[in-house]
Amino acid sequence: MRMRVTVVRPGDLGPSEASLWATFQQFSPTTPNPFLSLTFARVVGRSRPGARVAVVEADRQIEAFLPSNWLPAGWGCPSVTR
């Protein structure tokens, strides 16, 4: 299995990624939290220049979206903090 992680700004995700993210949230018992949604990530992205989403792929298929906020020190934290 080949893994790849691409880090992008929330607003750079297109309709196909948005649909897939919503599907992940709908069918996962651990991610219905609105703070883990693309909508929230995009709102954070409008006010925090360090807002990013890690797009995790396995064998060229998207498996996860991980929103975070990158800080000036060069490390990231969940978007719901700070």
DSSP state of 35: G
Confidence of residue 36 (pLDDT cuts 50, 70, 90): confident
pLDDT in tens, 5-14: 999 999 999 9
DSSP result, 8-34: E-GGG--HHHHHHHHHHHHH-TT---G
14 versus 76: the higher-pLDDT residue is 14
Q: Is 29 helix (H, G, I), strand (E, B) or coil?
A: coil
pLDDT in tens, 45-63: 999 889 999 999 999 999 9
| Cα 62 off chain centre by | 11
Q: Which helix (H) or strand (E) holds 48?
A: none
Model's pTM, two decimal places?
0.83
Average pLDDT of the chain?
A: 86
Q: Is 75 helix (H, G, I), strand (E, B) or coil?
A: coil
